[in-house]
Amino acid sequence: MRAVRTEPGPEGGYWLARSAAEIALADVIRVTEGVEPAGRPLPQAAAPLAEIWAELHDHEDRLLSGTTLADVLASPHAGS
């Protein structure tokens, strides 16, 4: 599902293809940064951290998936 609509030409530009309340920050990151491969192998010395790293990644994904552009714009810090 697209988040941005484009219109070429002198009167063209970029617009949100959906409302800001329908676009999660996770969508923006996936489009701009790509999808991070799951379960990247860690060096042997860091292997004990694999479970913590996976939990952190899951938390980050839940937070970004549950936060929309509208949430960011409604933040008291928006525009500061």
Task: Select from 3.40.109.40, 3.40.50.300, 1.10.10.10, 3.40.640.10 the CATH code of 4-74.
Answer: 1.10.10.10
How much is the pTM?
0.69
Residue-level pLDDT at 48 = 83
For residue 63, give the nearest of 28, 27, 25 by alpha carbon: 25
Q: Which residue has the higher pLDDT, 40 or 8?
A: 8
- The pLDDT tens digits of the residues spanning 35-73 come to 776 666 778 888 888 888 889 989 999 999 999 999 999
| HSE-up (13 A, CA, CB side) for residue 6 | 2
Residue-level pLDDT at 3 = 66
Residue-level pLDDT at 11 = 86
